[in-house]
Structure 1
Amino acid sequence: MTKPILVTSAAGGNQGRTGRHVSEMLLERGARVRAFVRQIDERSDRLKSLGAEIVVGDFLDARSVEQATRDVSAIYFAYPVQDGLADATAAMAFAARKHGVSRLVNLVMYQSSIDAPTPRMRQNYLSEQVFEWSSVGPLHLRATVFYENVARLVGAGMPAHGAIRLPLGNENTILPLISAEDVARIAVGLLTGPERAAGTAYPVIGSVISVKEIVGAFARVLNKDIHYEEITDEQWRSEVLARGWNAHAVEHLSSLWKSLRAASLSAEAARFAVTDTIEKIGGAKPKTFEQFVREQQSQLTAEPAAARGPGREARS
């Protein structure tokens, strides 16, 4: 019998839910999935009903991570945007090396380097180095901003103000985005496809659109009069912290907004381009932002205004 693939963050949180997508896609292909979850609930029950083996654990508990990696063929590692990445990386690297894992797909952010513009991106780069030192066959999937997170951020202002309220400069600011589903398709391709050189990085962008185009997509799909309202970094930070978002995520996003504003004022934004990795490895053309909004229309209109931010995502 073939060994299972370990999928972390399998239940799905509020930051794209790539672990859930990866689990479901693997199961559809007939692969064995060991779903690493924080707790048993309706989300884990659904995965179990689809055929996944459920393992309850915590990224920051090295013992549970070590137990989860026993006898697996590959690992999908996706740690949410919150504190603890260094400890979680060390625990997973230790466990994967101990059990002879030779393929690990590591989800990080598009700009991953020692001088990247946000603290989380710089942490991601160090995480990559740890996995490479551990000789566990890491492949780094560097994804840009998820559609899902843009939708959540947009939803925070629309009901109360009829506006998309973000500190993104003017409406011509360019954003590189991607669907979490497309990220998951690439991850599945890397987990199940031919052997690839360890340490290879795959930067992926699904669409490159302006704030104006984002506003237009929401207005068309929701049939509402929606406009963009630029706010300051301080206003945005104050509002999301008041909603309970964790400080780690807020610091990352605050730095990201500054970076995207700066890129749009220079030639840097011209470097953003849709990558062919989605189609070549993921096997499908990238989803457009408007496609995503149409698919999520009922949720976007039914859910309360961004009641939960990145701070509410589970650790596994």
Structure 2
Amino acid sequence: MLLARGIPVRAFVHSIDERSEHLRARGAEIVEGDFLDARAVQRAAQGTSAIYFAYPVQDGLLDASAAMALAAREAGITRLVNLVMLQSSIDAPTPRMRQNYLSEQVFEWAGIGAVHVRATVFYENLGSQVRQSLPAQGAVRLPWGKETTVLPLVAAEDVARVAVGLLTSPSLPANAAYPVVGSVISLKDIIATFGSVLARNVRYEETTDEEWRSDAIARGYNAHAVAHLSALWKALRAASLNAEAARFAVTDTIEKIGGARPKTFEQFVREGLAKSA
């Protein structure tokens, strides 16, 4: 999106592979390194004016935040867009969310024009969970409680639109948080959407937390991600949310800052079907 606007982009990548080569072919400068290597982060930040920071759901967030804050301050950065989770507070329900809050404080103390994109669960992450059982079993098997459970969701593309809007709008105030929710949908409606788009019978099978945890570990999920997601599933079940809950209402951030209406969950599922055809 930035390259399409003619904005020079430097991509800090963990390894050189087909993904980094795709970016290079589009015109991005590629710098290889690791978020936990402070010298590498300094090299990546030098000569830039704005940074998008999106650390994966694994250990090391606070170390990476400190290294990035140092590098950004030394480089004279005037805008850092920090991707965090929707609930970011010292009392948030998952360990990752609580670390997100501390990460926000580090960036604000650095005085680098930090803003925080507080995004909810990505459609893409939901899709990866569903693909573990739906194709072979015709079922969505997750520990999400009853079909009345309501989830706030968003498309990765819409999160990117907001990030681009913030990176290119220096007049927006620093040390502010922007919640990003593209849809609020019940588990029942999620199942119905998969069934309608895929033209097949799809059912929901509730699993236990332990079943999900064991399966996630077997698939190679890191311990940090398992702890975060296990706590998140419990929080969603306990919330007994509904679509009118103001806390999880669709936000206007995507349209106002990202310049487009949020992608619906049905659009996301149909796009995935088209790509696999």
User: What is the TM-score when the length of structure 2 is the normalising length?
Assistant: 0.97
Query: Contact 1:103–1:136 at 8 Å: present in 2 too?
Result: yes
Query: Contact 1:263–1:269 at 8 Å: present in 2 too?
Result: no
Structure 1 residue aligned with 2:36: 60
Structure 2 residue aligned with 1:244: 220
Share of identical aligned residues, percent?
Answer: 70
Matches within 5 A, 1:179-218: 179-218=155-194
Query: Contact 1:175–1:209 at 8 Å: present in 2 too?
Result: yes
Instruction: Find out whether 1:152 has 2:118 as its counterpart.
Output: no
- CA 1:48/1:267 → structure 2, altered by over 3 Å: closer, same or farther? closer
Structure 2 residue aligned with 1:127: 103
Deviation at 1:265, TM superposition (A): 6.0
Q: Partners of 2:28 and 2:140 in 1: how far apart?
A: 39
Partner SS for 1:54: strand
Matches within 5 A, 1:299-310: none
Q: Partners of 2:88 and 2:106 in 1: how far apart?
A: 14
Q: What is the root-mean-square deviation in Å for CA atoms of aligned residues?
A: 1.5
* Paired residues, number: 277
Counterpart of 2:57, as a letter, is V
Query: Contact 2:149–2:242 at 8 Å: present in 1 too?
Result: no
Matches within 5 A, 1:58-137: 58-137=34-113
Instruction: Find out whether 1:175 has 2:142 as its counterpart.
Output: no
Query: Contact 2:159–2:254 at 8 Å: present in 1 too?
Result: yes
Q: Partners of 1:268 and 1:169 in 2: how far apart?
A: 19
Q: For structure 1, which segment, 194-203 or 29-38, has the greater mean C-alpha deviation from structure 2 after superposition?
A: 194-203
Deviation at 1:226, TM superposition (A): 0.8
Structure 2 residue aligned with 1:5: none
Deviation at 1:270, TM superposition (A): 5.0
Matches within 5 A, 1:285-304: 285-298=261-274
- CA 1:68/1:43 → structure 2, altered by over 3 Å: closer, same or farther? same
Q: Partners of 2:244 and 2:59 in 1: how far apart?
A: 30
Q: 2:7 aligns with which of 3, 28, 31?
A: 31
- Give the structure, 1 or 2, with the largest relative contact order (CA under 8 Å, sep 6 or more): 1
Question: Cα deviations across residues 21-64 of structure 1 (Å, max 9, x unaligned)?
Answer: xxxx0001110000110111111111111110011110010000
Deviation at 1:160, TM superposition (A): 3.5
Query: Contact 2:80–2:114 at 8 Å: present in 1 too?
Result: yes
- CA 1:219/1:65 → structure 2, altered by over 3 Å: closer, same or farther? same
Instruction: Find out whether 1:49 has 2:25 as its counterpart.
Output: yes
Q: Partners of 2:4 and 2:241 in 1: how far apart?
A: 44
Q: Partners of 2:75 and 2:131 in 1: how far apart?
A: 43
Counterpart of 1:297, as a letter, is L
Query: Contact 2:148–2:188 at 8 Å: present in 1 too?
Result: yes
Counterpart of 2:109, as a letter, is W
Q: Partners of 1:156 and 1:191 in 2: how far apart?
A: 35
Deviation at 1:268, TM superposition (A): 9.2
Partner SS for 2:41: helix
Deviation at 1:217, TM superposition (A): 1.1
User: What is the TM-score when the length of structure 1 is the normalising length?
Assistant: 0.85
Structure 2 residue aligned with 1:310: none
Query: Contact 1:173–1:210 at 8 Å: present in 2 too?
Result: yes
Counterpart of 1:296, as a letter, is G
Moved over 3 A (4+): 265-270
Instruction: Find out whether 1:277 has 2:243 as its counterpart.
Output: no
Structure 2 residue aligned with 1:229: 205
Structure 2 residue aligned with 1:164: 140
Counterpart of 2:93, as a letter, is P
Q: Partners of 2:261 and 2:246 in 1: how far apart?
A: 21
Deviation at 1:66, TM superposition (A): 0.3
Query: Contact 2:150–2:243 at 8 Å: present in 1 too?
Result: no
